Structure 1
Amino acid sequence: MSNKLPQAFRHPYAFNPNFETSVAYFCMEYAIDQSLKIYSGGLGFLAGSHMRSAFDQKQNLIGIGILWKYGYYDQFKKEDRKMGVLFQEKLYHFLEDTNIKFTIKIAGNDVWVKAYYLNPKTFGTAPLFLLSTDVPENDYLARSTTFKLYDSDPKAKIAQCMVLGLGGAKLLEELNYDTEVYHFNEAHALSAVFNWLPKMGKEKLKEKLVFTTHTPEEAGNEKHDLNILRELGFFNGLPTERVREFTNTDGFEFNHSLVALKLARKANGVSKLHGEVAQEMWAHYEGICPITHITNAQNKKYWADERIEKARQDNDLNALKARKREMKQYLFDEVANQTGKLFNPDVFTMVWARRFAEYKRADLITRDAERFEELMKNSKYPVQIIFAGKPYPMDYNAIRTYDFLVELSHKYKNMSVLAGYELHLSNKLKDGSDVWLNNPRVTREASGTSGMTAAMNGSINFSTNDGWIREFEEISPESVYTLPIIDHTLPHYDQDKMDLANLYKILENEILPLYYGDNDAWFRKVHKSMSDVVPFFDSDRMASDYYTKLYNI
């Protein structure tokens, strides 16, 4: 095996001496450009920024992912304005055919896997290889493995993870490329270890493998019956006894994150708080690796508006105000297009936009109907509120919450719910918001990143004190509004009631009076927030940290 990629796929730069260790970065999704719809949410946004910063810093890193034929899904409004789900074939003429094709075994059958290549020069990323089973040699079932990101059928999703893991390991063999580090960004690629373990042994693998865990949520730490995994070929033909020996697994429950923590040399959570939560969460298991933290970040070069950034650099509050007003109007054009409502750029605008998940509490601000009514009809301090986000297409509770907000918005000309939350809309929402609302239950949001890019574009974060926000508040306490920390062991009803009361208290007594009472002071806060969110929450710092804390031995 060579320590260099084939000439056709090499990095278009000489490596920075600080980042010469070769890394293969395995991730289920990447949000790199609006035109490449192979992502669902935060994990993809994070991976996309990582790949951009790896390129900017001239790092010796390649990405391995999957080319999802239908992406996650296309979100639209149905006839009754409620949420619709469309799976539409995506076409990518800018991807290059590597002419690499090989088979892996899934459920005892040979499944052909084809590799495509995203040239680093196309979007300014580290080299990215995307795997697909949508080839003529496969039957429909095999072809459909890489159709939908996070398929709702458990066995289909296991097969998808096998394409990323076993397929990614096989790709490295086809490239004749021996990397020094394997980085699993979440445990989706875990099946790869069962390609490597018989060839290099547990100790050698442990030297090479690092692991990032992104969530304490149950859904993000998958468990499966060991016999089902064996039947599907997840263990690459290894006998069950050998699997137990390698992974130190008893019983028949196979916990993917736990096994990754046992086999890796080192792991990390994605914020300081999440690192602590992860250490506590896994502490009672034997044989896990050390868990540090590397706080998530986003690529400023991609996300930040150049004109508002220049106003910040010039310390020109008038230019900052003027550009912010223009950016709000761009967002409001989208609001008008989708909802027929004309928002006013001179009115305070708050945005809640991210993945719809129960713990993120999209509808929290609406749960006190009387106070919400008063807020929406406040003539002294007028407010505009925008919601957006993509629930998992089979999460009917999350879709119900989205549809409830749509129905509620019909009552108010100053409330809207938008569809199509991908990179372009995400950027508009961050550019056009005065306040970026974030209210997950504390300790459940491992990091969160959307508020970072909102801050880069002149939006003030208003959040529960969770994830990355806790670190931002330490750096710049005057730049963020945070809810008081409450006892997160209380029943959810009590937590929600207390957080909601504190949310309204801060919004009504601090945020709105400052915005309307002393607009210069508001924009000084905006300037401070923009200045302090970088460099720490720019992904250049994060990509560098992965080398110093995880990759370099």
Structure 2
Amino acid sequence: MKAIRRFTVRTVLPERLRGLEELVGNLRWSWHHETLDLFRSVDPALWESVRYDPVRLLGEVSPDRLAVLAEDRRFLRRLDAALDDLRDYLTAPRWYQSAVDGDAPAAIAYFSPEYGITAALPQYSGGLGILAGDHLKTASDLGVPIIGVGLLYRHGYFSQSLSPDGWQLEHYPAIDPGGLPLTLLREPGDGAPVRVAVGLPEGRTLHAQVWLARIGRVPLLLLDSDVEDNDQAARDVTDRLYGGGTDHRLLQELLLGIGGVRAIRAYCRIDGHPAPEVFHTNEGHAGFLGLERIRELVDEHGLSFDEALEAVRAGTVFTTHTPVPAGIDRFPRELIGKYFGGSAALEGVPVDRVLALGEETYPEGDRTVFNMAVMGMRLGQRVNGVSRLHGAVSREMFGGLWGGFDVAEVPIGSITNGVHAETWVAREVLDLAVRETPSVLEGRGWDSVLDVPEQEIWRVRRLLRERLVLDARRRLRESWGQRGASEAEMAWIDDALDPDVLTIGFARRVPSYKRLTLMLRDPDRLRALLTHPERPVQIVIAGKAHPADEGGKRLIQDIVRFADSEDVRHRIVFLPDYDMALGQMMVQGCDVWMNNPLRPLEACGTSGMKAALNGGLNLSIRDGWWDEWFDGQNGWAIPSADGLSDPDRRDQLEASALYELIDDHVSVMFYDRDAAGLPRRWLEMVKHTLATLGPKVLATRMLRDYVHDLYAPAATSARAMAADGYAGARELASWKARIAKAWPGVAVDHVESAGEDSPHVGAHLNVRAVVSLGELSPDDVAVEAVYGRVDPSDAIVAPSYLELTAVTPENNRVRYTGDIPLDRTGPFGYSIRVVPRHPLLASRTELGLVALPPTPPGMTNGDLR
């Protein structure tokens, strides 16, 4: 008989060992090697069998062993030292407390639908969650006062196995929060669990309790709808990550956004934590948080919807993570109307205003859907992509929201992702750094890597490759056993892979654009690479397809069937159930990290960064982060046939380039050894990669960029809006309404310039314009000359801007003038535009309003010399 409920009975530790519970209760252990060493010493064999999960370790360790440890003075000294170190880490000032001025926010709320903290807390599916986990860990290390908000999924994402014919199978093991490093958020006094509630249509209410995870110094609040106050449908809202249909997904996002804000309010009330001044929405799933904050301001401060919207926008940061339209959540408008209208409406938040926030008003937009990313951009005054290329792609995708402006001016910036080194870098690499380059561990002196003895790097790399090979064999044996193979059929696994063979890694989610099977384009050529007599290659592959993605599952089946072939199965393996633990093993043990997406559909792709920090080299299409940081010496760039309209031909060309790079360059360099058996040229590339990429790919760099470029400016804007009873928000909302109403009366009536007849570089061109302002005043607008080099179609390339000066107002017409510097030779041009101007705007493009001359002014001299 199967149990109908599952729960965890915790061990009662001897008094002298109670400190272990304190260590387990803070997930800093997941990246703190000394604490992990302490757990390992509790029972080394058991530590291996529980797969490095300290909660399970303490749940299964024998009373006799605990009694021995309680009398072991050496162990107790180590325990006390670990506790002292944790308490100092949690309380001592860190970077944020000493390096950031008073403009920085007192607290930041960070919302994400998933978090990859550790394999022992399976609340993630892929890169978005892993990034969110690295963001929180780095915030803890730097002392950035972030509060994380997410959902607790009782079945996580899914566990993956394979059928005998290689088809992906999904399993959803139940997760008991009592067996995780979590505590239930409770009210002071009576200790009752905190409850948050979200109104639903037809008078129903969605209730949730709040679990607290401690990520070092950062609290992470996880909302859980599996409570007795809910009916069964409501209890299942947080059953699976990215599970269910459209209604189910919307309910999850309502709980995350609206319920998440309410959970933060409860936590700050109970804990005394400062209230967040900035709210960071990690992708569109949590976008409804802005509507709840608008409701608060309407209800508690008497603001109108428009006034509250300005206050909320000022303190909101929105990060978009996908350059793929299909990856953005879009709901039917009528469904949004149902959940934000009638009895489910948020007080002071009219349903028509909600619908307008998510409307695709740009050309080619679908007016029947509600776009969560579009809402995120309208609710966030500051928007960014996650690599330089992704920022450019996002400006193209969403530029229509700011119609009238060139794509380059669309207010979507970029902060390239980074990775949390302590999580992803092998212990042996860190130990080598302690011995040879201690300054690197303090974030400086990366050039010292160039002086590390090459034989030491090669020794560590061989050790990590061997560890990967042994772990891969263990996983292969488990997988083949699950697929029904007998012991006799698995004998080959003992010799699968080779710790001395060039090892290429490929691990990621399996949507079609990531092209898992590009390497299979020419199977015979791949076989030749794998079985080359002098320069063999082996490939370790992992990845999960979304349960509803039949195409992705077919790609996995194709790769598994090839890897099952007897002639190559010792050289290419697919390892199922890709999770953080397998990801760590692969980025540490692989010599080369391969990535071949359809450019430019990879937003960032941080796994290659993790490999680089472990001494691996990248072999990748120039997409995401690799596009901006590839320098010709830190790996290999696979040529991309971007312009081809025939996808089959494009795949053929790029696969051929991939084979050629591996055969003629990568493997040749790896196996080119000197008299000491060292691949000197390879190791020079490794050292160059570490020295140059090391400081760039760290999440400490990323989070400092967020603090300086987004969080601090957002806090300043939010304070300006809130000052004097939200006078700034009231004034800006009134001004925007007046500008929008009067803008049709703004026009550039006349443009002329002097000095075009004999221009030369270093001179100035005097430009004059007459502008009709209608009901507006010169203080409401900026009149700008836009100038620079022009292309053959007269488009201004990489323009510069000069604000012109108002000289002679004439009723509602104003004459403006200014001198354009002629600072370059060749074809040159200019135009004039009028844009709204207000000190509380983040940019002059914010309203999407611009007035241009009716026709471009003629150029009297096309070549200015």
Pairing partner for 1:452 from 609, 617, 640: 609
CA apart distance, 1:82? 3.5
Give the superposition deviation at 1:139: 1.6
Whether the aligned pair in 2 keeps the contact of 1:152 and 1:394 (CA below 8 Å) is no
Q: 1:95 is aligned with what amino acid?
A: L
The TM-score normalised by the length of structure 2 is 0.60
Describe the SS at the equivalent of 1:386: strand
Among 207, 216, 228, the alignment partner of 1:112 is: 207
Q: How far off is 1:125 after superposition?
A: 5.3
Q: Tell me the secondary structure at the aligned position of residue 94 of structure 1.
A: coil
CA deviations 1:311-338 (Å, max 9, x no partner) are: 4645021121111111111111122123
1:294 equivalenced with 2:415 (yes/no): yes
Q: Indicate how the Cα distance of structure 1 residues 209 and 407 shifts in structure 2: closer, same or farther if over 3 A, else same.
A: same
Q: Report what 1:330 is aligned to.
A: 467
Contact 1:270-1:296 at 8 Å conserved across structures: yes
Within 2, Cα distance between the matches of 1:83 and 1:458?
32
Over 3 Å counting, the alpha-carbon distance change for 1:27 and 1:158 in structure 2 is same
User: CA, structure 1 residues 71+304, in 2 after alignment: closer, same or farther (shift >3 Å)?
Assistant: same
Structure 2 residue 185 is matched with structure 1 residue 98: yes
Aligned counterpart in structure 1 of residue 239 of structure 2, from 147, 151, 154? 147
Which residue is equivalent to 2:160? 75
The CA deviation at 1:249 is: 6.8
Rounded to whole Å, the distance in 2 between the matches of 1:196 and 1:451 is 38
Asked if 1:239 is matched to 2:239, the reply is: no
Amino acid at match of 1:267: V
2:690 aligned residue: 530
**Contact 1:194–1:236, Cα closer than 8 Å, also in 2:** no
Q: Deviations over 1:23-71 (max 9, x none)?
A: 1000001101110000000001111111011000001111001111111
The amino acid across from 2:459 in the alignment is A
**2:531 aligned with 1:377, yes or no?**
yes
What is the rounded CA distance, in whole Å, between the counterparts of 1:305 and 1:116 in structure 2?
A: 31
Cα drift, residue 487 of structure 1: 2.5
Q: Retained in 1: the 8 A contact 2:124–2:156?
A: yes
TM-score (normalizing by structure 1): 0.93
**Conserved? CA contact 2:261–2:289, under 8 Å:** yes
Specify which of 238, 251, 260 is matched with residue 168 of structure 1. 260
Q: Percent identity?
A: 29
Matches within 5 A, 1:478-493: 478-488=633-643, 490-493=645-648
Alpha-carbon contact 2:153-2:241 (below 8 Å) kept:
yes
Relative to structure 1, the CA distance from residue 317 to residue 311 in structure 2 (aligned partners, 3 Å threshold; closer, same or farther) is farther
**Stretch deviating more after TM superposition (237-246 or 221-230):** 237-246
SS in 2 for 1:471: helix
Contact 1:195 1:236 in 2 (8 A): no
Aligned with residue 471 of structure 1, among 618, 628, 637: 628
Residues 374-417 of structure 1, C-alpha deviations (whole Å, 9 max, x = no match): 22221121111111011112211111111111111111121110
| Correspondences of 1:263-342 after superposition (within 5 Å) | 263-286=379-402, 290-311=411-432, 313=436, 315-339=452-476, 340=493, 341-342=495-496
Equivalent in the alignment of 2:574 = 417
**C-alpha distance in structure 1 between counterparts of 2:394 and 2:375, whole Å:** 14
> Does the 8 A contact of 2:110 with 2:149 survive in 1?
yes
* Structure 1 residues 376 and 552: CA distance shift in structure 2, 3 A: same
**Aligned partner of residue 554 in structure 2, secondary structure:** helix
Matches within 5 A, 1:30-41: 30-41=115-126
Once the two structures are overlaid, the 10-residue window that deviates more, 533-542 or 226-235, is 226-235
Aligned residues: 539
Alpha-carbon shift at residue 236 of structure 1 (Å): 4.2
Q: Which of 19, 25, 43 matches 2:110?
A: 25
Q: Partners in 2 of 1:382 and 1:102 — Cα distance?
A: 58
Equivalent position SS for 2:185? strand
Within 2, Cα distance between the matches of 1:419 and 1:249?
39
Look up the match of 1:360.
514
Gaps of 5+ in 2: 1-89, 187-193, 298-307, 362-366, 438-451, 477-492, 674-678, 714-865
What is the CA distance between 1:90 and its match in structure 2? Answer: 1.6
Alignment partner of 1:225 is 2:332: yes
Conserved? CA contact 1:441–1:495, under 8 Å:
no
Q: CA offset at residue 20 of structure 1?
A: 4.4
CA distance in 2, matches of 1:199, 1:143: 26
CA RMSD of aligned residues (A): 2.1
Which of 292, 307, 313 aligns to 1:206? It is 313
Per the alignment, do residues 464 and 116 of structure 1 end up closer, same or farther by CA in structure 2, a change over 3 Å counting?
same
Please state if 1:16 is matched with 2:124. Answer: no
SS of the aligned residue for 1:322 comes to helix
Deviation at 1:422, TM superposition (A): 0.8
Larger radius of gyration: 2
Aligned-partner Cα distance in 2 for 1:103–1:36: 25
Corresponding residue number in structure 2 for 1:8: none
Cα 1:174/1:125, change in 2 over 3 Å: closer
Deviations 1:175-196 (A, max 9, x none): 3463111100001011222212
Structure 1 gap segments, 5+ residues each: 1-10
| Distance (whole Å) between structure 2 residues aligned to residue 185 and residue 307 of structure 1 | 33
